């Protein structure tokens, strides 16, 4: 049985069709993982669907009927209730990057980034100068950059200190770093309404958590009142860190995923070799 050119084209179309569907699913799941609000909506929808399956299997008529109404009118309710969040999520999907800027940095460039940022954080901490430094990753921060003061300068701890110096007209707002460049200063970020944040913490900490809820960036904060350092990642705030904690978290978060997986694999091999030697 010979395969004609038409059959080959048909098979190729099906392969492309399936590949596109998988790419769309991957892209959606990737953005769900990077966006705290989107992941909460996804978990809620998944919970309702699982509960519906369980109620049908167990024969819970009343619960099943209520869940049918929820599934029927739920999408409309979600659109109405979460209209601002859905709009920001769609905007985020439109500005997402396939390759994060930090991934193209060499090892030396990443080390320099960590060295300069940590050096600035240490000096700001000692002087009790408030600051918020945001490092862009996969999701672009251009909507916030467009409204801020553009700099496009080489990253250095001295420049960061100059920007956040209290009498500097540019010290209000946050600094955004793309790759190994300081892109802008005076950036304004959305504040988080999360109940997990201590009420004693101010606008800087809430803005840091807010921007990490909407994007996958890293936000570093120095408190003006106490000089304490914090890091916000994926909507979680790590408060009152030491300078070594900041350095290690930055190194870990800025490592490319492939490199991180290889390191984990090497560690597992070393552990297995140690166990084998002990048994011998």
The neighbour count for residue 42, using CB atoms within 10 Å, is 15
With residues binned 3-state (H G I as helix, E B as strand, rest as coil), the percentages for the chain, rounded to 5, are 60, 15, 25
Q: What is the pLDDT of residue 170?
A: 81
Q: What is the pLDDT of residue 171?
A: 82
At which residue do the structure tokens 């807010």 appear?
Answer: 210
d(CA 43, CA 32): 10
d(CA 188, CA 67): 41
pTM of the entire structure?
A: 0.63
Q: What is the pLDDT of residue 175?
A: 95
Q: What is the pLDDT of residue 38?
A: 65
Are 214 and 232 in contact by the 8 Å Cβ rule? The answer is no
Query: Which residue, among 254, 216, 253, 250, has the nearest Cα to 235 in the 3D structure?
Result: 216
The architecture that CATH gives domain 101-258 is: 3-Layer(aba) Sandwich (3.40)
Q: For the chain, what are the domain ranges? A: 5-95, 101-258
Q: Per-residue pLDDT tens, the chain, 280 aa: give them.
A: 566 778 778 888 888 888 888 887 777 676 666 566 666 677 777 888 888 888 888 888 887 788 888 778 777 777 776 666 666 666 655 555 443 444 467 888 889 999 999 999 999 999 999 999 999 988 888 889 988 999 889 999 999 999 999 888 888 889 999 988 999 999 999 888 887 888 888 889 999 999 998 888 999 999 998 999 999 998 899 999 999 999 999 999 988 765 554 555 455 545 544 543 554 4
Q: Give the single-character DSSP code of 96.
A: B
Query: Which residue, among 270, 169, 173, 175, has the nearest Cα to 217 in the 3D structure?
Result: 175
């Amino acid at each position: 049985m010979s395969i004609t050119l038409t059959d080959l084209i048909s098979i190729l179309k099906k392969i492309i069709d399936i590949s596109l569907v998988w790419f769309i699913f991957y892209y959606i799941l990737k953005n769900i993982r990077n966006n705290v609000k989107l992941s909460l909506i996804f978990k809620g929808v998944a919970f309702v669907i699982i509960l519906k399956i369980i109620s049908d299997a167990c024969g819970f008529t009343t619960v099943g009927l209520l869940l049918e109404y929820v599934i029927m009118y739920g999408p409309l309710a979600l659109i109405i209730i979460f209209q601002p969040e859905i709009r920001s999520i769609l905007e985020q999907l439109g500005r997402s990057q396939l390759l994060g800027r930090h991934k193209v940095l060499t090892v030396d460039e990443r080390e320099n980034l960590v060295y300069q940022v940590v050096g600035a954080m240490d000096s700001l901490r000692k002087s009790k100068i408030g600051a918020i430094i945001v490092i862009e990753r996969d999701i672009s921060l251009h909507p916030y950059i467009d409204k801020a003061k553009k700099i496009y300068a080489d990253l250095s701890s001295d420049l960061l200190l100059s920007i956040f110096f209290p009498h500097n007209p540019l010290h209000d707002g946050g600094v955004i770093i793309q790759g190994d460049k300081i892109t802008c200063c005076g950036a304004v970020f959305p504040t988080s309404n999360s109940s997990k944040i201590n009420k004693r913490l101010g606008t800087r900490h809430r803005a840091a958590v807010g921007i990490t809820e909407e994007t996958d960036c890293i936000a570093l904060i120095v408190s003006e009142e106490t000089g304490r350092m914090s890091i916000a990642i994926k909507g979680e705030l790590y408060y009152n860190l030491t300078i070594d904690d900041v350095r290690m978290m930055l190194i870990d978060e800025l490592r490319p995923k492939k490199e991180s997986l290889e390191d984990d694999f090497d560690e597992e091999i070393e552990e297995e070799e140690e166990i084998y030697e002990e048994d011998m």
